[in-house]
Amino acid sequence: MPLTVRDYSWEQTLSEAYVSVPLKGVGAAKVDIFSTENYLKVNFPPFLYEAFLYAPIDDVRSTAQIGNGVIVFTLFKKEAAMWKTLTLTDLEKETMQRIREEAVLKAQRKSQEEAEARAVKKRENKKYALEVMMKIEDAERKRIEDLKEDERKKATQELESWKEQQRREKEQERIQREFHQENKQIEEAKKKKQAVNKIKMPSTGSAKSRSLNEQDGNMFSKKLEEESLPAPRSAGSIKIHFTPRIFPTALRESRIAEEEEWLQKQAEARRMIDADDLALKDLTEEEKNPDWLKDKGNKLFAVGNYLAAVNAYNLAIRLNRRLPALYLNRAACHLKLRNLHKAIEDSSKALELLTPPVPDNADARAKAYVRRGTAFCELELYVEGLQDYEAAIKIIPSNEIVQNDAEKIRQIIQGTVPESV
């Protein structure tokens, strides 16, 4: 049974009361303090101090300080007045027990209300954080869609510009061909005229024969002159025969047109080297070759020097912006360097250049989808990432690693596994 402490001292003002209770060597960590408006209890085993206060106090503002073997209470009175005593001493046991029970019930209700308030605040904070994250994700998704749309427009404009350039080149070739053909006809006419002028009529014979000869010569000359005039230009066409390509698949299953278009685009892309940039004038002949720069970037990537590999790919892209392998390899470097948005941009650019879809570029398209999907997942955009992984599976359905990764993403979206998987 605890020992009740009777030894204490107190002082007061109109608004405050100060109570000092000796602790008799008990450490602060062992002291249990409980207070309400009308009840104060200090439990420091084996001692117990309790007080049934003369008037109500503000238990929220009231404080307790422990030190030097004494606990000092600063009690703020609810009503400014001078108390006759600190405690009520003439209370019956039933009244004291009732006050204790009411104090405990009130403290429990207060604790429960505080817990509920904390829970409500926690839910509100969580809801606010979720709304903020959704806004950020929507903004990021819109930005990515805008980037895709800009790249599509840019690619369309470049394609139209290329078609217009091809049309102009063909028109210029046709005009030059007609000009050369016309010059050739003029040269042939001059040669015939020179041949006519070299013909000399004989000077002997009678006047009659000379007259006949001159008449015949003039007729012959006129005839040659008429024949020497160029004939009207007639329309024609040039026929070019190519060796047909042989495909291993049946004609109804093959994609000859798409493959021809893909090969033509690759050949044109390799010829489109932009060496007019002033920053590229001081490069060596090897450094002006995009294929050499790509191989150098691949070697740097293999040894883990990702920044240097990015620089090599950047220079190659400045020389030639139409090679999808450069963007695809640079996307892999950005993934290693955690430049996730740049990885998404390079993968998207590679997919735009990898058209039309044919078996020759199937592996590259699958890599582009996987790398862009990985970047989306690292940004916690799992729905977009799963879409790219599913697109890659359609291209390479036998790849078990891609299928397993796609299944993990589905589980994260469904909430069946933690996001750290």
pLDDT value of position 405? 93
Tens digit of each residue's pLDDT (9 = 90 or more) over 141-157: 888 989 888 888 888 88
Residue 48 lies in a domain: yes
**Residues lower than pLDDT 70 in the chain:** 1-3, 24-31, 196-237, 239, 241-255, 268-282, 417-421
DSSP class of 279:
G
pLDDT value of position 325? 92
pLDDT value of position 401? 93
Residue 257 lies in a domain: no
Mean model confidence pLDDT for the chain:
79
Q: How many domains does the chain have?
A: 2
Residue 175 lies in a domain: no
Q: Which amino acid is at 375?
A: A
* C-beta separation of 40 from 53 below 8 A: yes
pLDDT value of position 351? 92
CATH number at residue 380: 1.25.40.10
Report how far residue 271's alpha carbon sits from residue 320's, in angstroms, rounded to the nearest whole number: 9
**Does the predicted TM-score (pTM) go above 0.85?**
no
Residue 217 lies in a domain: no
Helices and strands counted in the chain (H then E)? 10, 8
Domain termination residue (choose one: 90, 110, 126): 90
Report how far residue 150's alpha carbon sits from residue 156's, in angstroms, rounded to the nearest whole number: 10
- Closest among 225, 220, 230 to 187, alpha carbons compared: 230
Domain termination residue (choose one: 39, 56, 90): 90
Domain termination residue (choose one: 90, 112, 144): 90
Question: Can you give the residue range of the structural domain that contains 339?
Answer: 280-414
Structure token digits, residue 224? 């040659």
Residue 47 lies in a domain: yes
Report how far residue 9's alpha carbon sits from residue 18's, in angstroms, rounded to the nearest whole number: 8
Residue 127 lies in a domain: no
CATH number at residue 19: 2.60.40.790
Residue 347 lies in a domain: yes
